[in-house]
Amino acid sequence: MKKLKITMLGAGSGFVLTIARELLHDPVFARCEFMLMDVAPDRLAIAENAVKDVLAKGENAVTVKSTTELRPALEGADYVITSCEKNRYAYWVHDLRIPEKYGVHQIKGENGGPGGLIHGMRNICLYKEILTVMSEVCPEAWLMNFTNPMSILCTYFKNCFPHIKALGFCHQVHGSFGVIAEQLGWKPGDLQVIAAGVNHLSWLFDIRLKNTGTSCMTEFLDKVRKSQYWKQNFPNIPEQSLTLEVLNTFGMYPVGYDEHICEYMSFFSEPEIQQKFGLKSLADFYEGLTQKKSHTLETQRLLGKNYSKPPFPADPDHPYYAENPCKVIAAFETNTPTYFDAINIRNNGAVGNLPDDVILDVPGLAVGGEVRSIHVGDLTMGTAEICRRQTVLHEMIAKACAEGSDALAIQALSLDPYVNSITQARNIWHDYRDLYREELTTFR
């Protein structure tokens, strides 16, 4: 078996340790090179020491290297795992504050709404360099992305760098259903789900208990409707009361927790409704993070510091909660068909009433050197339209940024469910464009 080079860009993020743990024992990773790259030397040093401590517990003799330079990190890479962006929390505050000036109030603004649009554009400009260098020094490598907005970035990869093999990884479906299982009295992994939709807004088609042949959807929904965790909010636990409201309104269970699903649902943006469901803008929270002199949450995790651990999952290091890139690598390298309950790829018929070529978060099978989508069925009329609108916006945002088109950016903002007028759209875009002129490198 060949010696692999796996490169992690954004190695100072919280994902690096879960990747390292997956390299410990599988023979596929024996004597592989794990290259860590981060532009921040202090975070890179912390990550390198933490990764070496983890790998010392395995028998695979993985070589760990590090660099702050992109090109040497990518040269000869077989797989490139990315979790990187610039000034994450500081920029996030502005992503929310600017629309607020013009009457557009978002809760999170990471993947949807005006905040998702500008977040996506900044990261497209960041990834353009990564993809360009990959095309030159490791054109056959797989790009395995964690960075958000996942659907917008993967749409850009698909349209503008079609020769780069790219996959989008998110623990939303897998991870949230481990937590949900615990909240409802089951164990992580007891619930096997079939879900599909836009990243951070999948919809539950079916759910079964492990090792059983029949659906437990009725039992699951009954437990959800009776559980305290879907009726009231608790400190340090993701809100789910809005999730219950959406289930009762649209007849399908939305996967993604309240703060994520409401990014795509402007009909929950009224202050009275947000107050009812205990939702509020996260701008103050992000602003607090930027003002702290201590390390970011990601670095605190690397250092093993106490960062107010939530009650769920009870054991965040439980094997169920592991991330999936290394499982895909093992499937490719050994040609072992492997199922994944959610991965961001082309729809290709997984959801019958959405276009084949759009990026969705769908079940997939790693087989024959690629990850192939698995058909799950049709969404209901309402849920399909919520997702369809977002896929159109993601295509527009990717195209606007690739072409440096102010007109397309304003069109995308005008069509966003959170924006109510062309005046709002133009004002928001003007302020975004002015503030982020150094980051929006395709707009010159």
> Domains of the chain, with CATH numbers?
87-110+170-302+335-444 (3.90.110.10)
Choice among 94-98, 238-242, 300-304 with the minimum mean pLDDT: 300-304
pLDDT digits (tens, 9 = 90+) for 225-265: 999 999 998 989 999 999 999 999 999 999 989 999 999 99
Choice among 43-47, 185-189, 272-276, 374-378 with the minimum mean pLDDT: 272-276
Contact 184, 227 (CB under 8 A): yes
Contact 153, 127 (CB under 8 A): yes
Give 353 or 213, the one with higher predicted confidence: 353
Choice among 311-320, 374-383, 394-403 with the minimum mean pLDDT: 311-320
pTM of the model: 0.96
Rounded to the nearest integer, the mean pLDDT of the chain is 94
pLDDT digits (tens, 9 = 90+) for 35-86: 999 999 999 999 999 999 999 999 999 999 999 999 999 999 999 999 999 9
pLDDT at 293: 46
pLDDT at 304: 60
Residue 300 confidence (pLDDT) above 60: no
Of 232, 260, 233, 261, give the one whose Cα is nearest residue 247.
Answer: 261
Q: Residue 3 carries which DSSP code?
A: P
pLDDT at 305: 57
Q: What pLDDT band is residue 143 in, cutting at 50, 70 and 90? A: very high
Choice among 86-100, 166-180, 276-290, 299-313 with the minimum mean pLDDT: 299-313
* 104 CB-contact burial (10 Å; exposed 0-12 / middle 13-18 / buried 19+): buried
pLDDT at 303: 58
pLDDT at 294: 43
The token pair at 169 is 């990884």
pLDDT at 306: 54
pLDDT at 49: 96
pLDDT at 297: 47
Give 319 or 301, the one with higher predicted confidence: 319
The token pair at 127 is 């990834």
Tell me the CA distances in angstroms from 113 to 91, 96, 201, 404, 417, one per residue in order: 15, 9, 13, 20, 7
